[in-house]
Each structure stands twice: as structure tokens, then as C-alpha cells.
């Protein structure tokens, strides 16, 4: 499988509804979101038919970390406050959380951590919509879930190889699948019609230097990933802290005091969030 054709890989990933192990709620949601002309009403209608999904999405937007504690009462209301793209991202994340937890224990905690750290960094760097990098953080590793579900044995081998060789998971992925989880998540983000900036920062979170449309956002998600791994929150396929890209680091210009503040916010929010989103 080492010489898997990247085109075949991409087409399998993009046809996620044909992967039998994908949960049906994710398939349905994906089918709806794939339509570029999807309206707010259609999304609300779909969500309102699924009480479990409604509860989870409202729980998430109403959690203290999101900044509207207890104030958002409907999916319509959430879209008005947060925008369609953010709500789409949150819906996909919550419908992937349960399976994420089964696919790789600790990946959900890691993803929530990266989302929170990205949002804090985004706020610090004056992003107009820090929620967008929050969503990018939530979805940045969704490629690992898809690879696990589509090729369970091969991905398990990949994780074992990475552990045994003491290399990063994305390097092991490249030799097993010819592409990385970041590329996989980027293809899906495109398929789901997320803004190009968001797709770019998901696809390039391990190589922020190639990002042209969203260098700041990509540097944020990349660095958030490094910080969360440095703190050891959750698990994402290997236990090694990857080196931060020098260009991304320079773009953000973080001081030691900034890092301390991010770590503190991370600690508080991850603790709360884990309690609130326990599936």
C-alpha cells in the first residue's frame, strides 16, 4: 500500500458515504453540506429532525468556552450569531466526535484543545472571526478519523510504525498512504465548501510555510497544535512534540507571557469542555 495512488486515495475519501463504517448522521450531514447552495433553512430542518444532534450542537455553542453560556436556544439562532460556516463546522465536529473517540482514544480531547488554543491565539492576533480558527482546530485532524475508518488495518500499522520508529505520525502516513491526514482533511473541507482560507489552514497545518491565502490562520492552527502536544492534552497518533515552523513562529511573535496565558486558558477550558461534551 506504500505506493497507493494519491488520486485513488482522494476519490475514496471524497466518497465518504460509501465507506461502511462512517456513522449515518455524518453521511447525511455531509450529503447536505456538499450542496454549495445549501440554505440555512435546510440545515436547520435537518438538525431539528435529530434531537441528539440538536442537543449536542446547542450544548457546544452554549458552553462557557464559546462565550454565549446558556443563551442560544435554537439552531437558527446559532447560525445568526455564529455564521453558516462556523455552524457547519460545529455540526460536522459533533457528529464526528463519537466516532473520533473510538477511532483514536484521546483525539477528541486533542482536537478540542487545538480549537481552544487556536481561538485564544486568534483573539490575540486580532482576527475578526476567531471562531473560524476554532472550527479549523476542531477539524484539523478529521483526516485521521477518515483514514482509520476507511483503512483500519493499514492505519493501525501506521500508528505502530510511528511509535516504533519514534517518528511523527504524518511521516508514517506519507509512507503508508502517500499523503497525510492534513491533505485528507483539506479535501473534505473543500468538498464541504468551507471558505478557501479555512481549507488552506486545515490542509497545511503541518507545513504553514506553503499557505498563501491564510498565512496567519495557518500559523495559528499549526502553533496551537504544537502547544497542545507540548502540554500533552489528549492523544493524536504519536506522543512527540513536532518542531514549530520558524516562519509561523515569527508570524505570531509570541512571548513567554503569551504562552503562559494560553496554557492557563487551555487548562480551564479543556477541563470544562471534556465534561460538557462527554459523548
Partner 1 sequence: MPKIPVEQLKPGMKLARPLENASGMVLMAEGTELTEARISKIENMGIDSVYIDGPSRPARPKEELLAALEERFSKVGNSPPMALIKKAVKEHIEAMYG
CB atoms within 10 A of CB 240: 13
Q: How far is CA 66 from CA 5, 26, 112, 115, 175, in A?
A: 41, 23, 12, 11, 38
Q: Which of 242, 247, 265, 276 binds partner 1 (CB under 8 A)?
A: 242
What is the grid cell recorded at 262? 494560553
**Cβ burial, residue 3 (10 Å; 0-12/13-18/19+):** exposed
Q: Quote the least distance from Cβ 123 to partner 1, whole Å.
A: 18
Interface with partner 1, residue 246, by CB under 8 A: yes
Segment near partner 1 (CB under 8 A), from 12-20, 41-49, 92-100, 232-240? 232-240
The CA R_g of the chain, rounded to the nearest whole Å, is 18
What is the grid cell recorded at 149? 475508518
Interface with partner 1, residue 253, by CB under 8 A: no
Contact (Cβ atoms closer than 8 angstroms) between residue 191 and residue 207: no
Segment near partner 1 (CB under 8 A), from 37-45, 132-140, 153-161, 265-273? 265-273
Q: Which of 37, 166, 212, 278 binds partner 1 (CB under 8 A)?
A: 166
Q: Which of 88, 134, 229, 236 binds partner 1 (CB under 8 A)?
A: 229
Distance CA 235, CA 110 (A): 6
Interface with partner 1, residue 260, by CB under 8 A: yes
- Interacting residues toward partner 1 by CB under 8 A: 64, 70, 166, 226-227, 229-232, 239-244, 246, 249, 256, 259-260, 263-264, 267-268, 271-272, 275
Amino acid at each position: 500500500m506504500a505506493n497507493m495512488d494519491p488520486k485513488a486515495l482522494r476519490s475514496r475519501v471524497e466518497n465518504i458515504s460509501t465507506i461502511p463504517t462512517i456513522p449515518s448522521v455524518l453521511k447525511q450531514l455531509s450529503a447536505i453540506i456538499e450542496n454549495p447552495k445549501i440554505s440555512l433553512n435546510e440545515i436547520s430542518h435537518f438538525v431539528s429532525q435529530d434531537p441528539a444532534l440538536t442537543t449536542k450542537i446547542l450544548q457546544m455553542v452554549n458552553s462557557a468556552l464559546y462565550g454565549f453560556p446558556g443563551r442560544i436556544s435554537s439552531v437558527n439562532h446559532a447560525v445568526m450569531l455564529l455564521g453558516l460556516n462556523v455552524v457547519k463546522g460545529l455540526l460536522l465536529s459533533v457528529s464526528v466526535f463519537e466516532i473520533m473517540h473510538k477511532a483514536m482514544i484521546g483525539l477528541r480531547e486533542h482536537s478540542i484543545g487545538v480549537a481552544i488554543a487556536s481561538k485564544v491565539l486568534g483573539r490575540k492576533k486580532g482576527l475578526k472571526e476567531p471562531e473560524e480558527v476554532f472550527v479549523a482546530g476542531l477539524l484539523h485532524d478529521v483526516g485521521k478519523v477518515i483514514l482509520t475508518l476507511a483503512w483500519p488495518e493499514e492505519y493501525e500499522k501506521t500508528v505502530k510504525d510511528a511509535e516504533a520508529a519514534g517518528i511523527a505520525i504524518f511521516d508514517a502516513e506519507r509512507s503508508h498512504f502517500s499523503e497525510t491526514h492534513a491533505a485528507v482533511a483539506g479535501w473534505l473541507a473543500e468538498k464541504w465548501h468551507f471558505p478557501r482560507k479555512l481549507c488552506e489552514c486545515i490542509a497545511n497545518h503541518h507545513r504553514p510555510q506553503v499557505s498563501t491565502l491564510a498565512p496567519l490562520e495557518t500559523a495559528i492552527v499549526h502553533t496551537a497544535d504544537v502547544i497542545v502536544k507540548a502540554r500533552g492534552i489528549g492523544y493524536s497518533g504519536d506522543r512527540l512534540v513536532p518542531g514549530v515552523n520558524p516562519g509561523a513562529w515569527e508570524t505570531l511573535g509570541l512571548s513567554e507571557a503569551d504562552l503562559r496565558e494560553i496554557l492557563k486558558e487551555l487548562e480551564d477550558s479543556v477541563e470544562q469542555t471534556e465534561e460538557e461534551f462527554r459523548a
